[in-house]
Amino acid sequence: DGETSVSEEVEHKIVGIEPGAGATAATDDALEAYDSLEGWEHETSSTAAMLTSLGDAYEAEEPIIVVGWSPHYKFAKWDLKYLEDPKGAYGGAEQITTLAHKGFKEENPGAYQILENIGWDISTLEELMLQAQDASIEEVAQTWIDENQDKVDEWIADAPEGDGSSVELAMTPWDSERLTGNMAKLALEQKGYDVSLTQVDPAIMFEAVAEGDADATLAAWLPKTHGSFYEEHKDSLVKVNEAIDGAKIGLAVPTYMEDTNSIEDLEP
Ligand code: PBE
């Protein structure tokens, strides 16, 4: 009928994020799983570049398809929706899980006990991610700890003093993980633990905790996003806590793309 389809308008391209992200691997899986995505290109770059492309397209009310996830401020800043994923390429609800090296509980039972207690509602984290648009992650983390001492006390009160024992935490480079990593660090430090926080890609993070180069992480998205990393290393890892419930990954589009609601609405 001569009309340009959404798939043509976006030039059969998915705007992706970092090559090492779990959501990137899931998107490659989706390209394999869906006939509707045959011949599509998955362009990886960075979260910042994806957000710039999304903001520009949104401003111009042009169609765009991005690799998305929650919690993230993009859903508060713009009206976006996830595309339905009937084949489950992106999994379902995820828990952002705290993992430790298998020997860590015995090595440092006090720090382990505190990590078992630390968790947040997803709405709290979303609010903090919005605040982090206008302030540094470290500032937002410090302010939340200062204003929620009752919560921090629940986490640390019953645990033994750290007496300067070291806790090496690993995290990934995304805002949600930098926030939870920094807040956990501050809570552990209040009890006298000496905490280091290192930022690495997911593959390195899993390897570091599995090999004991890091003690623990609050940044494992399971069961799907980092599922293959977890499977590879699970014999050396312990699930300490599900610190955040209700996370999600998938393909996201602006809601003004009214007729595009499922990955199966796209065309080769
Ligand atoms: N993310 C945010 C990461 C984990 C946290 C969903 C973009 C990923 O590995 O895909």
Closest by CA position to 202, among listed 213, 181, 217: 217
- Give ranges for CATH 3.40.190.100 in the chain: 6-91+249-265
CA 173 – ligand 1 centroid, Å: 9
- For the chain, what percent of residues have pLDDT higher than 90? 98
User: Which pLDDT value is given to residue 3?
Assistant: 79
Q: Which of 29, 69, 176, 226 to mutate to test the pocket of ligand 1 (most atoms within 8 A of CB)?
A: 69
ipTM exceeds 0.95, yes or no: yes
Q: Where are the beta strands (DSSP E) in 102-259?
A: 166-171, 194-199, 216-222, 237-254
CA 176 – ligand 1 centroid, Å: 9
pLDDT per position as a tens digit, 191-200: 999 999 999 9
pLDDT per position as a tens digit, 66-120: 999 999 999 989 999 999 999 999 999 999 999 999 999 999 999 999 999 999 9
- Give ranges for CATH 3.10.105.10 in the chain: 94-247
For ligand 1, residues with CB inside 6 Å are 17, 21-23, 69, 172, 174, 176-177, 202, 221, 225, 249
Closest by CA position to 113, among listed 98, 124, 132: 98
Q: Which of 50, 75, 126, 172 to mutate to test the pocket of ligand 1 (most atoms within 8 A of CB)?
A: 172
CA 221 – ligand 1 centroid, Å: 7
DSSP state of 83: P
Mean pLDDT in the chain? Answer: 97
Instruction: For residue 2, name the pLDDT band (cuts at 50, 70, 90).
Output: low
CA 260 – ligand 1 centroid, Å: 24
pLDDT per position as a tens digit, 54-79: 999 999 999 999 999 999 999 989 99
The yes/no answer on whether domain 94-247 falls in CATH 3.30.70.890 is no
Q: Which of 15, 67, 249, 251 to mutate to test the pocket of ligand 1 (most atoms within 8 A of CB)?
A: 249
Cβ(161)–Cβ(167) below 8 Å:
no
Query: How would CATH label the architecture of 6-91+249-265?
Result: 3-Layer(aba) Sandwich (3.40)
User: Which pLDDT value is given to residue 241?
Assistant: 98
CA 138 – ligand 1 centroid, Å: 20
